[in-house]
Amino acid sequence: MTMPNMHYRDLKDSYLFYNIAQKTKAYLAAHPDQHLYRMGIGDVSLPLCKAVITALHEAVDDQADRGRFHGYMPECGAPFLRQAVARHYRGRGINIADDEVFVSSGASDELGDILDLFDRGSSALVIEPAYPAYVDANVMAGRRIIHLPSGKENGFLPEPSEEAKADILYICSPNNPTGAVFDREKLQRWVDFANDCGSVILFDAAYEAYIEDEGLPRSIFELKNAETCAIEICSLSKTAGFTGTRLGYTVIPRALVRNGMCFADMWLRNRTTKTNGVSYIIQKGGAAVFSEEGQRQIRENILIYKENARTLMRALDELSIWYCGGKNAPYIWLKCPERMGSWEFFDYLLNEAQIVGTPGAGFGACGEGYLRFSTFGSPEDTKEAARRLVTLLGKK
């Protein structure tokens, strides 16, 4: 008998987005004339910027021309894109070589695939509340998971401790779902901890482009000795609207070595076995993000989402509701008022103000009592949602 991977039995059913979809569907069926203010799912609403669209069109034309046509692409990424990403890092004072950059189809794929580099017997630390894929990808591989809860008392940014010792340490900053961002000192303590323990940090930088406070690290490689303990996983999804176009990149410094094994060499070997590279057309579009024009244009879109965040933060301030995130992240994580539970508050907002958030309980037990707002919606809807929040909760 073929034995399936029995670890799949250990996966918890994820009802979070399914339940949200069911509840909103039922609400709309009962109130067909109502408009919903959707601030639940973390997908972008603005189209790709002009520089990217132009590059995509040009790349399509290349594929129609015998002399400019591209077949299989290099497994770890086209040299023009690896160079563009590495140059972008160097422009920020981080010394990354082109061959330390690996192009991917997005951070989700990479967060799962990169686990191939670690022994199945290794353990993984997940700081909760967390992006659900960290836990599930490790459950599928049968790894031991250490759940480190965080809370309001530490601003959802826990310190390393004896209980946090693990082989793989997931750190997501700016964080999804809490929007919390590690400052330099706190992140340095995790880097030092990882180097002391021989652990490897998987640094999820999917939201680095939302950091506006100068002093906050946008890359883990801004910190001392991070090159000997960290892998940085990045995505163009929220940086440049590539959620449906699919492109990301991962930085693995050559100095990251454990037990005589160089992770960058291992990943090269892995990619050449398991992929045939990302589409030429998409990589051309991605390279345009790193051009001067591309950087300016993606910034314009990010500023629109940031204005949404400010609109929501103003409403929450007016209501004296505790929250974190929003300033340096596209998520706002708020405490449900009146001691309401996450789902109770979700229902209340849906029924009384037609606002859809994401219940914090869906991101781990310590998310109970919180709700996440995403700021990726339209400015018009966000303004109206903020007005409705103030009207509804101001009465309480």
Tokens coding 212:
């506006």
For residue 362, state whether it binds ligand PLP (rule: CB under 6 A). no
Write down the least CB distance from residue 64 to ligand PLP, Å.
Answer: 29
For residue 325, state whether it binds ligand PLP (rule: CB under 6 A). no
Q: Assess whether the previous peptide bond of 160 is cis (omega < 30° from 0).
A: no
Q: What is the DSSP string of 13-78?
A: P--HHHHHHHHHHHHHHH-TTPPPEE--S----SPPPHHHHHHHHHHHHHHTSTTT---SPPTT--
Q: Of 108 and 354, which has the nearer Cβ to ligand PLP?
A: 108
Closest CA relative to residue 212, chosen from 294, 306, 295, 300: 306
One character per residue 158-177, x = contact with ligand PLP (rule: CB under 6 A): --------------x---x-
For residue 248, state whether it binds ligand PLP (rule: CB under 6 A). yes
Q: Which of 40, 42, 326, 367 binds ligand PLP (CB under 6 A)?
A: 42
d(CA 150, CA 179): 13
Closest CA relative to residue 91, chosen from 311, 316, 362, 295: 295
Q: Of 354 and 363, which has the nearer Cβ to ligand PLP?
A: 363
Strand partners, 345: none
Q: Which of 150, 178, 188, 235 binds ligand PLP (CB under 6 A)?
A: 235
For residue 237, state whether it binds ligand PLP (rule: CB under 6 A). yes
One character per residue 119-138, x = contact with ligand PLP (rule: CB under 6 A): ------------x-------
Write down the least CB distance from residue 69 to ligand PLP, Å.
Answer: 28
- Choices 64-72, 102-110, 265-273, 339-347; region in contact with ligand PLP by CB under 6 A: 102-110
d(CA 143, CA 152): 29
For residue 77, state whether it binds ligand PLP (rule: CB under 6 A). no
Angle (nearest 5°) at CA 149 between 147 and 155:
145
Closest CA relative to residue 388, chosen from 324, 326, 333, 312: 312
Q: Of 158 and 389, which has the nearer Cβ to ligand PLP?
A: 158
Q: Of 229 and 278, which has the nearer Cβ to ligand PLP?
A: 278
Q: How many residues bind ligand PLP (CB under 6 A)?
A: 13
Residues 193-212, interacting with ligand PLP (CB under 6 A): 204, 206
d(CA 244, CA 250): 19
Closest CA relative to residue 308, chosen from 189, 191, 210, 204: 210
Do the Cβ atoms of 372 and 131 come closer than 8 Å?
A: no
The residues of the shown chain that bind ligand PLP, judged by CB under 6 A, are: 42, 106-108, 131, 172, 176, 204, 206, 235, 237, 243, 248
